[in-house]
């Protein structure tokens, strides 16, 4: 009888241990998901900052102005030709 009682106690201890392990694994997956979300948010913020810096840089502004001037020149030439 003692052997059955000891086996039952060991089985209950094993079940409790595995349930505790399952909770720890679930917590790890939850934390991993949160870490991935935070990483993605940080990358997006840094990318947005860099794109804003590039968009407002002197090189970007001068290039935009140059293309606008060239387009206006071509438009003026086409207006002269069509008249």
Give the span between the Cα atoms of 1 and 52, in whole angstroms.
Answer: 77
Alpha helices in 1-57 (DSSP H): 2-55
Give the span between the Cα atoms of 70 and 29, in whole angstroms.
Answer: 56
Kind plus residue range of the DSSP H or E element containing 69: helix 58-82
pTM for the structure as a whole = 0.49
Average pLDDT over residues 47-69: 91
Give the span between the Cα atoms of 8 and 19, in whole angstroms.
Answer: 17
**Tens digit of each residue's pLDDT (9 = 90 or more) over 31-55:** 887 888 898 899 999 999 999 998 8
Planar angle of CA 70, 59, 45, nearest 5 degrees = 125
């Amino acid at each position: 009888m003692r052997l059955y009682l000891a086996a039952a106690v060991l089985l209950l201890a094993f079940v409790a241990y595995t349930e505790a392990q399952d909770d720890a694994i679930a917590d790890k997956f939850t934390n991993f998901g949160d870490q991935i979300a935070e990483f993605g948010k940080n990358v997006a913020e840094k990318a947005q900052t860099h794109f804003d810096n590039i968009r407002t840089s002197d090189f970007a502004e001068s290039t935009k102005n140059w293309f606008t001037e060239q387009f206006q020149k071509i438009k003026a030439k086409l207006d002269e030709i069509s008249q």
